[in-house]
Structure 1
Amino acid sequence: MHSIFGQLPRFLSYYNLEFILQAALTTLLLSISGCVFGFIFGFGIAVLRETTGPLWLPLRAAAVLFVEIFRRIPFLVTLFLVFYACQALNLDISVFAVAVASTCIIGAAFLSEVVRTGFDAIPSQEREAAAAMNFTLAQTLFLIVIPQAWRVILPPTFAFFLSFIKDSALASQLGVVELTYSAKVMNNKGFSPVLGFGAALILYFAISYPLARFGLYLEQRLGFSRYRKP
């Protein structure tokens, strides 16, 4: 403890704090970009799987194959697959871009199932009524299904986002300067691991806790609105 307190003034220097806070911002940007674009692509995949007819069959099969593969591959393996694929294609992109692409792939695979579960939560009688009124698939989804399904979709989406903030630490294996990487750098500079990883712990909590509370608020609010009496 004496050594830790002795290192604390040097650890809290301007340049160290700037480096750690920039790493925290990278963690947040990586998580947000992966989940936002992952949700957009996942939503498209879920809508694609709602299509019918033989013309859409190859795309539906490709969507199912994509989801089933990347939901079962660890995030770290996906990171290296994307990294080496970019090298094989001679793409000159940063490791941060590789990490964002990997998070988008994993996010799309998992969030497409979240969206599809929300679609399936809508009673089939409503879809049948829409079909009886000659609604197209787009009309059925955007006028009937989605306005009700988003209440089911949002809470698990926030839960996935929170878990993804922690999983983003694996991007440090590629050299992305995020929170876990910054803690390793502080440790390599001679500071106690308690200081480096303790700062990372505090910042992970500072990022995750407000989002967790907001997700809980949404879950309670939307859950009440679904079941309240008219």
Structure 2
Amino acid sequence: MGDFNLFHLRYLLDGLLWTVILTALAFVFGGAAGFGVMLARTSRRRWLRRVSLVLVQAVQGTPLLILIFLVYFGLGIFGVDVSPLFAAGLALTVYSAAFLGEIWRGCVEAIPKTQGEAAECLALSRWQALRDVILPQALRVATAPTVGFMVQVLKSTSLASVVGFVELTRAAQVINNSLFSPFFVFGVAGLFYFALCYPLSRWSRALERRLNVGRRQSA
């Protein structure tokens, strides 16, 4: 345990706060961009579907750590001063947009085509059908996997430490460099991650079970 004290605990809590902030930024902006990806992936224009598919596969096929390096060091080559928060936030936003867009595309396409056909019979435009008929049903299907992905994003924020951003993992590294008690310091950090991720994981499983029960009752 070494000389771990209240100051170190506060430093870890500050890192925990920035972990939550970074997760929220990535999820909000990534969700907005992911909605656009979903629209592109389900578009009636073939070229737009193909272009968006290539972009999604490029992001999903690239490790998040590489995306962070590309933003942090790549933009620096062109004389753009990038802060660790901006680099990590942008990389996580792009990462989240690609995966959330695909999650939501699958949920939209899981809705029976007869729903869209019924909307067309009512003379609804594609946007009206999507907004009033398809998305409300897809939202129920998408809730559980979306919450599950939020857990993944939260844990992935630890990679921001490689560019010097002081989130929970980086805070633990700084403290360990002075105390030389890796098992205790990183154990405490792990407990903090667990305290954040476990309730979200339980919520995701509960939502998934509720969805499955609802499907069986509908059948």
Same fold (TM over 0.5): yes
Structure with higher Rg: it is: 1
1:86 paired residue number: 75
CA separation of 1:118 and 1:74: change in aligned 2, threshold 3 A = same
**Do the aligned residues in 1 keep the contact of 2:161 with 2:170 (CA within 8 Å)?**
yes
**Do the aligned residues in 2 keep the contact of 1:51 with 1:137 (CA within 8 Å)?**
no
CA shift for structure 1 position 94: 1.5
CA shift for structure 1 position 49: 2.5
Unaligned residue ranges in structure 1 (runs of 5+) = none
2:172 paired residue number: 183
- Pick from 36, 39, 50 the counterpart of residue 44 of structure 1: 36
1:109 paired residue number: 98
Measure the CA separation in 1 of the matches of 2:85 and 2:182.
25
CA shift for structure 1 position 152: 1.1
2:109 paired residue number: 120
SS of 1:73's equivalent in the other structure is coil
How many residue pairs match? The answer is 219
Quick one: percent identity of the two aligned structures? 35
1:34 paired residue number: 26
1:171 paired residue number: 160
CA shift for structure 1 position 135: 2.1
CA shift for structure 1 position 65: 1.9
Measure the CA separation in 2 of the matches of 1:229 and 1:120.
19
Matched letter for residue 158 of structure 2: A
Measure the CA separation in 1 of the matches of 2:154 and 2:45.
39
CA separation of 1:35 and 1:111: change in aligned 2, threshold 3 A = same
Measure the CA separation in 1 of the matches of 2:41 and 2:99.
14
CA separation of 1:75 and 1:199: change in aligned 2, threshold 3 A = same
1:116-169: CA deviation from partner (whole Å, max 9, x where unpaired): 000011011222222333321101111111110111111111111112222211
SS of 1:228's equivalent in the other structure is helix
Q: Could you tell which deviates more after superposition, 93-102 or 105-114?
A: 93-102
**Do the aligned residues in 1 keep the contact of 2:27 with 2:96 (CA within 8 Å)?**
yes
Q: Does 1:193 align with 2:185?
A: no
Unaligned residue ranges in structure 2 (runs of 5+) = none
CA shift for structure 1 position 98: 0.9
CA separation of 1:113 and 1:129: change in aligned 2, threshold 3 A = same
SS of 1:189's equivalent in the other structure is helix
SS of 1:92's equivalent in the other structure is coil
TM-score, reference length from structure 1: 0.88
Q: Does 1:100 align with 2:92?
A: no
Measure the CA separation in 1 of the matches of 2:140 and 2:28.
17
**Do the aligned residues in 2 keep the contact of 1:182 with 1:196 (CA within 8 Å)?**
no
2:7 paired residue number: 15
1:26-55: CA deviation from partner (whole Å, max 9, x where unpaired): 11111221122212211111112222247x
CA shift for structure 1 position 191: 3.2
**Do the aligned residues in 2 keep the contact of 1:79 with 1:99 (CA within 8 Å)?**
yes
1:45-82: CA deviation from partner (whole Å, max 9, x where unpaired): 1112222247xx3x444322211100110000111111
CA shift for structure 1 position 214: 2.1
Measure the CA separation in 1 of the matches of 2:41 and 2:119.
18
Measure the CA separation in 1 of the matches of 2:216 and 2:16.
39
